[in-house]
Structures are given as structure tokens and as C-alpha cells.
Structure 1
Amino acid sequence: MSDSENPTGNGQSVPQDPDHSAEHAQQADGAQGQEGLTVDDILDTPQSQDAGAADAASLQGDAAPAGGSEAQGSEAQKLADERLEELRRLQAEFVNFRNRTVREKDQLRDFVSGEMVAALLPVLDDVDASRKAGDLGEGPFAAIAAKLEEALTKKGLTRIGEVGEVFDPNIHEAVLQQPTQDVAPDHVSMVLRSGFKVGNKVVRAAQVAVATQP
């Protein structure tokens, strides 16, 4: 029995629906057309306007965040440069403060030591006079004088005034001029009273005689 015959077996044929047959034919043609497409056929298919517009919008959407990231990166770099400049300025200020503090500390130490030496100048003069007189050769007084001078030397005490030094009005006080051939002119020919300085601070200038041509 054929497909067109009545399934009830009465021998009458069933008429076919023309729309239904056409739909089956189109589906069959579409399936055959899809099976026959190649990769080249798909790539060569022209893109619709809607698809092109969608791609352009997608590209613009991707570009917008990149521009925003670049702007944020520029702001962050600017802020980092400002903070670095502030740190450098603070470091320079700290270095200047530290150097100034060290300098002031040294000046204060020299000032205090100078005041102490100034108070002991009469004692030091007596020590020098006793040494010139030969009274400090031996004995307890000589040991005390040596310990005193040693302690003051550790505090930065320096004697000023030696025969043969170039005369310097900053540390020497010229009391007289002495014609002599033993010392070059404008040099110290005799020390009348020793001077002292602590560090760079002159506590007392040395009283000296200045040599001249005989």
C-alpha cells in the first residue's frame, strides 16, 4: 500500500496540502544550501548595516575606557611627582636643620669652654710665671699644673704666641717693635704674655714684640 492511499483501507486517496508540501520543499532546499556552503562563502558574505553599526559601537565602547585609564594614569603620575617634590624639600630642610644644629652646638661648646678658660686665665698666668722662674721643675705643684693644662687641652685649649710666628693682628697684640737680625721682619720676636683660644674662639690675644730691621 502506497503512502498516498487511505490508511483506513477504503481505497480512497488522501489529498495532499499544497502549503505543507511547499514548506517541506523550502526546508529541504535550505538544508541542502547550508550543507553546500563553504568557509569562503561565509567570509565573502556582505555584512549588514546593523552588524557594521554594532561593531563600530563596540569599538567606541572599548576605546572609551582606554582614554579614561590614560587620564587616570596622568593624574596619578602628577600626584606622585608632587609628593616626591615635597619629600625632597622636607629632606633638604632636615639636612639644613641638622647642619645648623651641629654648628650651633660647636659654637656653644666653644663659648662655654672659652668662659671657663677666661676664668682660669690668672691661674694659667701664674703657672707660666712659675715655669719661667724655674719653680715647676719637680714637686706636687708641677704635677697639678700639668694636670690642669692637660685637662684644658682636651677641652680644646690652644696657646697662642710663639717666637718666629708671622704677626697676625687677629691673634697677636703688638706691644713693641724690636730691631733684631735673629727673626725676620714682621715676625714675633718675643712673647710677653701667652694668648689662648678654644676651638676657633680667641679667648685672649698674645702680647708680643714684632721684629723689625736693625
Structure 2
Amino acid sequence: MSEDFSEPTVIRDNRRIDPETGQVRGEPAAQEPAPAQPTVGGPDDGADTYGADAELGAAQSLAAERLEELQRLNAEYVNYKKRVDRDRDVAKNAALAGVAEALLPVLDDIHLSREHGDLTGPFVAIADKLEATLTRFGLERYGQDGEPFDPAVHEALMHSHSDEYEVATCVKVLQPGYRFGERVLRPARVAVADPQG
């Protein structure tokens, strides 16, 4: 069976030393380089450079968008945390003020007993501890004889005129007032003297 080849077979021996003579062969003849194949999408392709610039611009735009969203979410979270902390403090203060307000009648009895000298024995220590504990949490008793009358924190139960005073003055505190922080739980009930004329 015979094979039919359309092209003859060519064998090239590129060894530097001739195997028959042992001599160094001369430089082989330079072969013609293969014709350059056109490349698509290479570095010299202007269309590809435009495409890369467009992709880079789109990526930068997307990154800027995501950064803006992240900053907005971060700001919302910080505001939420501040609001929750503030609401927690308000709720805590409201609860403490509610307890203190419920104990005002007990504090009035302790105050009256102390003024009349009826608070004696072990009850003195208990009363002192109760008042110290409520003071530590922010309860403050106020109202002194001789202080100027302030309708925001005083309630006038009696009224008179006197030449001794230049402004409306609390001449007698009938029942002390209590405040919790800035909140007035109960105004001080007082007798007020106005200047004459």
C-alpha cells in the first residue's frame, strides 16, 4: 500500500556540532519569520483602550456610590445609637423620678418628725439612709425661709404685705419642695410677703 503525500518531507538538523565530522557547524541560515497575525484586543487597539477606560470609569462610579451609601448608613447608625442612649437615660430618669414621687409622703412625715423632735432611736438612722439614697439618685429638697418667691418652683398658700421686703419673698416654708434633676416633682408650698404699696 502506497501513501501519497502532497508535500515532500523536510528534515532540518539544527545541531551545532556535526555528528559525522565532529566539527562545529557555522551559523544556520536565518529563517524567515512567520507573518505576523493580526491581534484583536491588544494593547495597541484603540477600541479596547476606550473600553478599558469606560470600565474603569464605571467601576470608580460604582465605588463612589457604595462609599456614599456606606457613609450614609454609618451616619444613620451613629444617630440611632445616640437616640437610643438618650431615650434610655430619659426612661431611667423617669422611672427614678416616679419612685421618688411615690415616696414624697414618707419624706414629708420624716421631715415633720425631725422638725418636731419626734424622730428618735433607730428610726433616725433609717430616715437618714433613705434620704441619702434618694439624694444620691438625684432627689433634692428645696425651700428656705427668706428666699425670693419664684412661681416656677414655689406655690403660694398664704399672702401678706410687709415693709421689710423689696421683692416678693417666701417668709415661711409650709411644706418643702422636691425636684429630681431639673424636673420639679412638687413645688415648695410657702407663705409669701409682698412689699408694701
Q: TM-score per shorter chain, which class? A: 0.5 to 0.7
| Residue pairs, 1:21-40, within 5 angstroms | none
Pair 1:153-2:162 in alignment: no
- Other-structure match for 1:140: 122
**Distance across 2 between alignment mates of 1:94 and 1:162:** 47
- Other-structure match for 1:100: 83
- Other-structure match for 1:129: 112
Cα 1:73–1:100 change in 2 (3 A) is same
Q: How far is the alpha carbon of 1:166 from its aligned partner?
A: 4.1
Paired residues of 1:164 and 1:183 also in contact (CA < 8 A): no
Q: How far is the alpha carbon of 1:106 from its aligned partner?
A: 1.8
SS in 2 for 1:177: strand
Cα 1:67–1:195 change in 2 (3 A) is same
**Distance across 2 between alignment mates of 1:208 and 1:197:** 16
Cα 1:86–1:157 change in 2 (3 A) is same
Paired residues of 2:101 and 2:185 also in contact (CA < 8 A): yes
Cα 1:119–1:103 change in 2 (3 A) is same
Cα 1:60–1:69 change in 2 (3 A) is closer
- Other-structure match for 2:56: 73
For residues 64-88 of structure 1, the C-alpha deviation after alignment (integer angstroms, 9 at most, x for no partner) is 3332222122212211221122122
SS in 2 for 1:106: helix
**Distance across 2 between alignment mates of 1:184 and 1:90:** 60
**Distance across 2 between alignment mates of 1:183 and 1:88:** 62
**Distance across 2 between alignment mates of 1:85 and 1:210:** 63
Cα 1:116–1:59 change in 2 (3 A) is closer
The residue identity in structure 2 corresponding to 1:88 is Q
Q: Pick the structure with more helix per residue.
A: 1
SS in 1 for 2:103: helix
Paired residues of 1:177 and 1:210 also in contact (CA < 8 A): yes
Q: How far is the alpha carbon of 1:153 from its aligned partner?
A: 1.0
**Distance across 2 between alignment mates of 1:187 and 1:71:** 81
For residues 153-181 of structure 1, the C-alpha deviation after alignment (integer angstroms, 9 at most, x for no partner) is 12211113233444333322122234345
Pair 1:64-2:50 in alignment: no
Paired residues of 2:153 and 2:187 also in contact (CA < 8 A): yes
Cα 1:134–1:65 change in 2 (3 A) is same
Paired residues of 2:172 and 2:190 also in contact (CA < 8 A): yes
Q: How far is the alpha carbon of 1:148 from its aligned partner?
A: 0.6
Q: How far is the alpha carbon of 1:186 from its aligned partner?
A: 3.0
Cα 1:78–1:115 change in 2 (3 A) is same
Paired residues of 1:160 and 1:171 also in contact (CA < 8 A): no
Q: What is the TM-score normalised by the length of structure 2?
A: 0.68
Pair 1:213-2:195 in alignment: yes
The residue identity in structure 2 corresponding to 1:77 is Q
Paired residues of 2:164 and 2:195 also in contact (CA < 8 A): no
Q: How far is the alpha carbon of 1:125 from its aligned partner?
A: 0.6
Paired residues of 1:172 and 1:205 also in contact (CA < 8 A): yes
